[in-house]
Amino acid sequence: MLAPLLALQLAAACGGPDDELSRVALRMTAAESARPFTLPSFELTDQNGRTVDLREETAGRFALLFFGYTYCPDVCPISMAVANAALEQLTEAERERVRLVFISVDPRRDTPERISEWLAGLRAPGLGLVTPTVELEKLLAEMGFVLPPTTSWERMPGEQGGYLVPHPASLFLITPDGLGRFIYPFDRATPTEIAEDLRLLMALEW
């Protein structure tokens, strides 16, 4: 059973890409965001218990960003596995230019320790982040996203105390200028296609 999907409300445009990027975008599998969002400077707790700044941790790099939760039964593990497999297809030097970022939308259950264990199954290093719900809502608002109210959370069938959490079912590709320019809706791209997109973008000057 798929988790309810988040209705995305993108923020005002932050400026369009130049002609060269536009030409490259035509060759990519990823969908271009009509209104790129800015990755804000925002402090969260990573899987090691450190306080980190989201923008600083991804500065000058590409980022594959996913909002989800570790208890998700399907969309989250599949999406993260696809992103991980895409990074495995890159060379070591290429991987150095990309961060795989997971931000939990379930801070009640997703402790740093839990996220660390969950990300340990990925061969490509991932950055797992969590923050209290109030702060999470502020972060999402800065990015132009709106979460449904918590009353919309559904119980997970057959699991005592379990519940599903609304979240985007998309993987966001952030470019080194800190803009969320591209989107991979769930199950719309293969690891090979994502890796090829990253290589196309890496060939540009940022």
Q: Which string of b and e fits 41-78 if b means at least 16 CB within 10 Å? A: ebebbbbeeeeeebeebbeebbbbbbbbbbbbeebbee
pLDDT tens-digit readout, 104-150:
999 999 999 999 999 997 766 789 999 999 999 999 999 888 766 54
Q: Which residues face 46 on adjacent strands?
A: 129
Alpha helices, H only, 89-132: 92-95, 112-119
pLDDT tens-digit readout, 17-72:
468 999 999 999 999 987 889 999 999 999 999 999 999 999 999 999 999 999 99
pLDDT value for 152: 46
Looking at domain 31-153+162-202, does it have CATH number 3.40.50.620?
A: no
Full-model pTM:
0.85
Q: What dihedral do alpha carbons 116, 57, 204, 194 form, nearest 10°?
A: 20
- Mean of per-residue pLDDT scores for the chain: 86
Q: Which amino acid, one-letter code, is at 147?
A: L
Domain locations in the chain? Answer: 31-153+162-202
d(CA 22, CA 57): 26
Q: Which amino acid, one-letter code, is at 122?
A: L
pLDDT value for 198: 98
